[in-house]
């Protein structure tokens, strides 16, 4: 693992510096009650430790006392669920080591002589305190996916995983759980030993073995023997011009480093601690001004990871990788004995992001232009089926797919020729919860923004000689893009008269017992927006206002002047108008506003407890801010759009400023994945987990993009 040049230790609000002589470590503590998050990275391993300690203020009954350890290597983890021995409230917390004063330490033990697995046993150790006698009732060892499926899937557990857990004594007075993975050679352990006079750990046998602890402090060690990743330090993940961020934004750059490795960037922790193509590419596009370039840099790590995982048969880009114990588990379900990694290819949005990112790097940067040939001649190694296929060939297959599936609409502009979700799939783009698109199957963001942007990029890449087999794309892809830019918005447009809009808002406020004001006085004319998707028997727009306008603002510089002006104006209106009339609240822009649905069943799918409901996503704020900034910046260029010379420019500026006001007000939440709210004389931010079994990641790659996205003077 790359040696960290600096140590950033952030506990609460303080920042200090400490160096270990043999292996400098990076530490980070982030609190979001009832979750305490601790990160430790060094040249041995990287670990994220979460202690969950419910109290009387914890409203969600699904939140249980828990110690969870997540490792980037193999998307691996170990979880221990506790309960009070006497059915009361159980509190737990980590304590500082009496030896070095740190909360966490690294475990690094060589493999036993003659062991089938020669990898060292590595992980993390610390001191956990129970304020009452406790029982460890459920260990889950192996894959983060197994833990995630349990926590978010209504308690789903695989018997094949759980039946392999072994319970045994550890030393003279400790206890241990262990499990050998499906590969037969990798093992995860979690063990506990009493300290400071605490009672011995006792194994309670029965249908399932449990561990019993007295009130007191115990050392825990969570370890595994899986190959580790090569982590990029903060100085390695950032370009030379951005090194100052390491001091200016220590917690954010430490978080970014924890998710950054020489061969891929990870989506978030703890729940998505692995490759996700969409997440990494959108993050790279938003952060390209600060990320390191060239061989060994962050941008090439992102692009290389995506190309490595392309389905070489049809060119589809991988959404999520399956590796480690979970890859073996999925293979077993198919009757195959294999630990080889595999990919999920169900998404329809991710393909289009690859040519956009390739253009921005290999055409639009000096280093990228010099690196195009050596990089694209590399041979794939990650997937067995792609072995020895050149990167250029794999990327070209994705471009060929895009050209093929977009040709029908370029020829005939009918709904049936738009991009649909794949048959049998209920999700296909970033709103990938089952109700995220409100039942729609033709996504707004994909068809009106990602497709034309991807086509524009293919045209530019072809002009630059990146795809020498298809010189015709330089012309054809541009023509396709123009049609998709100009002719797709009309299918998604929703227009509601002023009187109907007021009635719908009042009905929504009544149906949902909305605590805040209805704000119907802000409706001064027809309300126009673009629905989340097309759906139903007639493929009509799903009447849910949303933030996905940001894709078009960020990715496209459209030239249809009337359409551009109208599109910008309705976006500005939604930012300037308060929910439920618009999208704006004190906690940020809601990614969905179902108030105009006129359908209680549909609006009920978009609550503040829903993953893609009336909640705030940090990266959508970032892309909206970056997108509006780009559109306003066009006014200073040689081909300024018509809106720049109209009163509309002032409205868009006002919306841009209002957006940044709410972003700055919510700085405390921005590095997290998603947050919800409660109303108490105004909207107050609340973790999504307060209302849902979905537990937002405390750090999320695309939520760190505010390192690069700033308010511009436009």
Same domain for 206 and 273? no
User: Residue 441: how many CA atoms within 13 Å on its side-chain side?
Assistant: 15
pLDDT digits (tens, 9 = 90+) for 15-38: 332 333 355 899 999 999 999 999
pLDDT at 57 (0 to 100): 75
Residue 104 lies in a domain: yes
Residue 500 lies in a domain: no
Residue 689 lies in a domain: yes
pLDDT at 23 (0 to 100): 58
Same domain for 270 and 217? no
Same domain for 277 and 344? yes
Burial of 73 (0-12, 13-18, 19+ CB in 10 A): buried
Boundary (domain end) residue, out of 430, 458, 484? 484
pLDDT at 58 (0 to 100): 74
Same domain for 590 and 694? yes
Same domain for 46 and 177? yes
What does the block give as tokens for 13?
């609000």
Full residue range of the structural domain in which residue 169 is found: 33-224
Residue 531 lies in a domain: no
C-alpha separations of 316 from 21, 306, 365, 401 in Å: 47, 10, 26, 8
pLDDT at 13 (0 to 100): 30
Same domain for 212 and 294? no
Same domain for 432 and 319? yes
pLDDT at 63 (0 to 100): 87
- Cα separation of 250 and 675, whole Å? 22
Same domain for 220 and 281? no
pLDDT digits (tens, 9 = 90+) for 317-338: 999 999 999 999 999 999 999 9
The residues facing 261 across adjacent strands are: 231, 264
Q: Are 28 and 12 in contact (CB under 8 A)?
A: no
Same domain for 180 and 279? no
Q: For residue 630, which phi and psi values (nearest 5 degrees)?
A: -65, -40
Boundary (domain end) residue, out of 484, 505, 522? 484
- Cα separation of 702 and 280, whole Å? 7
pLDDT at 9 (0 to 100): 31
- Going 355 to 356 to 361 to 363, the CA torsion angle's sign is positive
What does the block give as tokens for 620?
């959508």
Residue 19 lies in a domain: no
Residue 9 lies in a domain: no
Residue 47 lies in a domain: yes
Q: Are 698 and 281 in contact (CB under 8 A)?
A: no
What is the number of domains present in the chain? 3
Same domain for 103 and 164? yes
Same domain for 415 and 352? yes
Boundary (domain end) residue, out of 468, 484, 500? 484
Question: Which of the residues in the chain have pLDDT under 70?
Answer: 1-23, 56
Q: Are 70 and 269 in contact (CB under 8 A)?
A: yes
Same domain for 43 and 161? yes
Residue 399 lies in a domain: yes
C-alpha separations of 397 from 344, 351, 356, 470, 511 in Å: 17, 10, 15, 11, 49
Tell me the pairing of strands 320-322 and 268-269. unpaired
Burial of 538 (0-12, 13-18, 19+ CB in 10 A): exposed
Burial of 647 (0-12, 13-18, 19+ CB in 10 A): exposed
Q: Are 702 and 282 in contact (CB under 8 A)?
A: yes
Spatial CB neighbours of 562, under 8 Å, sequence gap ≥ 6: none
């Amino acid at each position: 693992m790359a040696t960290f040049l600096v140590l950033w230790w952030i506990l609460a609000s303080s920042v200090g510096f400490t160096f270990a002589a043999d292996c400098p470590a990076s530490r980070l503590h982030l609190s979001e009650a009832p979750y305490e998050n601790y990160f430790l990275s060094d040249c041995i391993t990287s670990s994220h430790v979460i202690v969950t300690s419910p109290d009387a203020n914890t409203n969600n009954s699904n939140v249980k006392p828990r110690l969870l350890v997540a490792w980037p290597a193999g998307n691996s983890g170990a979880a221990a669920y506790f309960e009070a021995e006497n059915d009361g409230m159980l509190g737990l917390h980590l304590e500082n080591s009496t030896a070095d004063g740190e909360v966490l330490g690294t475990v690094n033990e060589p493999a036993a002589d003659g062991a089938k697995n020669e990898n060292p046993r590595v992980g993390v150790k610390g001191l956990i305190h129970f304020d009452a006698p406790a029982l460890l009732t459920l260990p889950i060892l192996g894959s983060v996916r197994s833990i995630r499926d349990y926590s978010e899937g209504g308690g789903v557990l695989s018997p094949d995983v759980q039946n392999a857990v072994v319970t045994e004594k550890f030393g003279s007075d400790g206890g241990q759980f262990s499990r050998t993975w499906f590969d037969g050679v990798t093992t995860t352990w979690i063990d506990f030993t009493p300290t400071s006079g605490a009672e011995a750990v006792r194994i309670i046998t029965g249908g399932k073995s449990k561990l019993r602890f007295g009130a007191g402090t115990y050392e825990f060690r969570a370890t595994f023997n899986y190959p580790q990743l090569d982590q990029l330090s903060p100085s390695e993940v950032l370009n030379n011009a951005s090194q100052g961020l390491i001091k200016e934004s220590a917690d954010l750059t430490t978080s970014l480093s924890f998710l950054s490795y020489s061969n891929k960037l990870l989506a978030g922790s703890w729940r998505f601690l692995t490759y996700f193509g969409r997440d990494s590419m959108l993050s790279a596009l938003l952060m390209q001004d600060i990320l390191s370039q060239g061989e060994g840099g962050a941008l090439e790590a992102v692009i290389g990871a995506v190309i490595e995982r392309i389905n070489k048969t049809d060119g589809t880009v991988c959404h999520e990788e399956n590796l480690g114990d979970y890859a073996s588990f999925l293979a077993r379900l198919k009757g195959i004995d294999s630990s080889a990694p595999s990919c999920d290819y169900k998404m329809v949005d991710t393909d289009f992001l690859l040519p956009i990112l390739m253009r921005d790097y290999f055409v639009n940067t000096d280093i990228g232009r010099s690196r195009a040939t050596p990089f694209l001649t590399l041979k794939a190694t990650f997937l067995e089926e792609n072995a020895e296929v050149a990167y250029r060939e794999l990327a070209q297959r994705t471009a060929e797919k895009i050209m093929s599936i977009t040709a029908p609409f370029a020829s005939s502009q009918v709904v049936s020729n738009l991009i649909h979700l794949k048959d049998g799939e209920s999700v296909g783009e970033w709103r990938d919860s089952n109700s995220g698109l409100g039942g729609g199957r033709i996504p707004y963001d994909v068809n009106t923004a990602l497709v034309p942007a991807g086509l524009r990029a293919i045209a530019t890449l072809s002009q630059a000689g990146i795809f020498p087999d298809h010189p015709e794309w330089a012309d054809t892809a541009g023509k396709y893009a123009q049609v998709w830019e100009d002719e797709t918005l009309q299918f998604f447009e929703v227009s509601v008269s002023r009187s109907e809009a007021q009635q719908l808002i009042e009905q929504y406020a009544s149906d949902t017992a909305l605590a805040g004001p209805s704000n119907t006085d802000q409706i001064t004319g027809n309300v126009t927006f673009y629905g989340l998707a097309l759906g139903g028997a007639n493929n009509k727009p799903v009447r849910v206002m949303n933030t996905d306008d940001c894709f078009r603002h960020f990715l496209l510089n459209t030239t249809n002047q009337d359409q551009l002006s109208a599109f910008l104006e309705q976006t500005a209106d939604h930012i300037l108008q308060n929910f439920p009339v618009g999208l704006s609240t004190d906690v940020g822009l809601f990614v969905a506003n179902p108030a105009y649905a006129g359908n209680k069943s549909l609006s009920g799918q978009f609550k503040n407890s829903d993953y893609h409901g009336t909640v705030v996503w940090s990266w959508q704020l970032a892309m909206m801010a970056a997108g509006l900034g780009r559109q306003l910046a066009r006014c200073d260029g040689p081909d300024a759009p018509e809106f720049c010379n109209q009163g509309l420019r002032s409205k868009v500026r006002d919306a841009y400023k209002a957006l940044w006001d709410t972003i700055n007000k919510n700085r405390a939440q921005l590095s997290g994945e998603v947050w919800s709210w409660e109303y108490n004389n105004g909207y107050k931010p609340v973790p999504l987990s307060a209302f849902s079994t979905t537990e937002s990641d405390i750090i999320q790659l695309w939520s760190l993009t505010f390192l690069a996205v700033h308010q511009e003077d436009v």
